[in-house]
Structure 1
Amino acid sequence: MAPPEQGDEAAQLRGYVDFLRDSLRMKAEGLTAKQLHTRHEPSALTLGGLLKHLAFVEHWWFSCVLHGRDFAEPWASVDWDADEDWDYNSAAANTPAELFALFDATIAESDRITDEALATPEGLDTIAVRHPADEDPVNLRYILLHMIEEHGRHAGHADLIRESIDGSTGE
């Protein structure tokens, strides 16, 4: 599914986020657990690690930053000081079904939160609850733009990893 070429700002931002989410999902679909955890040397990145990382990123920005909530599981019990890359590194312990379920559930929650915010008079200008004390707060528009950047960057990584596994290329 291509991103929309026309529409209001919210529809276009969401369309690009959805396109990039789908691109990453497509790169990881149909692979075995071993393939999902295959590295593209010299990088330590794996497709499984990218799925889990992006699930974390979605949870952080929509649930924790925009709504001000605490981490939910599986993130709440992580010792982030011991492994700041836990989201990437722990993916090897997950099955493909677990990784896709986490990715999909987190995106569904992000979409629900976005729908709620867009239904308010503030819409894209909805201010996030959480922000560093020394920085200006961000709004939903910023978060959606950040999701385009984050998913886009990692979709590029996913292209290289998938091609190194089985030669698959494309969106």
Structure 2
Amino acid sequence: MDYTDIPLEDCRTGVEGAMLLFALDRVHRQFAWKSGGLTREQLGTKHPPSGVTIAGTMVHLAKVEEQWTAAAAGREPGPPVIGADGEEHYDAEWREAPKLSPEALYELWYGTIARCRQEWTALVADGGLDRECTDDPGYVVNRRRRLVDILEENLLHTGQTSIIRESIDGLVGNDPP
């Protein structure tokens, strides 16, 4: 799997939902490029003083995308990505992810974004972005806000991944070739 497995159709004009999904697809391709083709050791590389690794970021982004997409769809999220029931806590994904094989990490991340992208396509078409979603009692937002939150989370961590990747093998740039 690599970044070319993520479809990207140019969206120079279009309705809001299509534009937001294009932006998410683009950042997914950027992240896939920056995280792709690495060994277990490289995926577990830290860039001090941060403890963030590309492996941890892959698991974290899969978890966030699954949880927030589930909230937008009005369904329960899938099982925890890492950690047994009652054992999952904030740093489990960061601490445990480097122990996973590259194949498991790539399968997890690519599988999650493919499922969530398919779901978002349906959510945008089915009543659009104005429908409310709740993923925390007392915290109600609409689908638009949740999709922007997912995009923002991916942008943040793609930037971190870019810095870590440059320190590993010198790969630089904003978009894959």
TM > 0.5 fold call: yes
CA–CA separation in structure 2 for the residues paired with 1:156 and 1:24: 9
1:62 and 2:66 correspond:
no
- Aligned partner of residue 153 in structure 2, secondary structure: helix
Q: Name which of 24, 27, 45 aligns with 2:34.
A: 27
- Aligned partner of residue 138 in structure 1, secondary structure: strand
CA–CA separation in structure 2 for the residues paired with 1:123 and 1:134: 22
What is the match of residue 132 of structure 1? 136
1:9-61 CA-to-partner distances (Å, cap 9, x unmatched) read 11110011111111111001111111011001110011111111100011110
Q: Name which of 155, 165, 168 aligns with 2:168.
A: 165
CA–CA separation in structure 2 for the residues paired with 1:142 and 1:11: 15
What is the match of residue 3 of structure 2? none
Does structure 2 conserve the Cα–Cα contact (< 8 Å) formed by 1:3 and 1:16? no
CA–CA separation in structure 2 for the residues paired with 1:162 and 1:88: 17
Identity, % of aligned positions = 31
What is the match of residue 122 of structure 2? 116
List runs of 5+ in structure 2 lacking aligned partners.
Answer: 1-7
CA–CA separation in structure 1 for the residues paired with 2:52 and 2:76: 28
Moved over 6 A (4+): none
Normalising to structure 2: TM-score of the pair?
A: 0.85
Does structure 2 conserve the Cα–Cα contact (< 8 Å) formed by 1:117 and 1:124? yes
CA–CA separation in structure 2 for the residues paired with 1:34 and 1:159: 17
Q: Name which of 157, 160, 167 aligns with 1:154.
A: 157
Note the C-alpha offset of 1:155.
0.9
List runs of 5+ in structure 1 lacking aligned partners.
Answer: none
Higher strand share: 2
Change (3 A) 1:161 1:2: farther
**RMSD (Å) for aligned C-alpha atoms:** 2.0
Normalising to structure 1: TM-score of the pair?
A: 0.87
Alignment of 1:96-107 (within 5 A): 96-107=102-113
CA–CA separation in structure 2 for the residues paired with 1:8 and 1:70: 28
What is the match of residue 93 of structure 1? 99
1:125-150 CA-to-partner distances (Å, cap 9, x unmatched) read 1221x343333x21221111111210
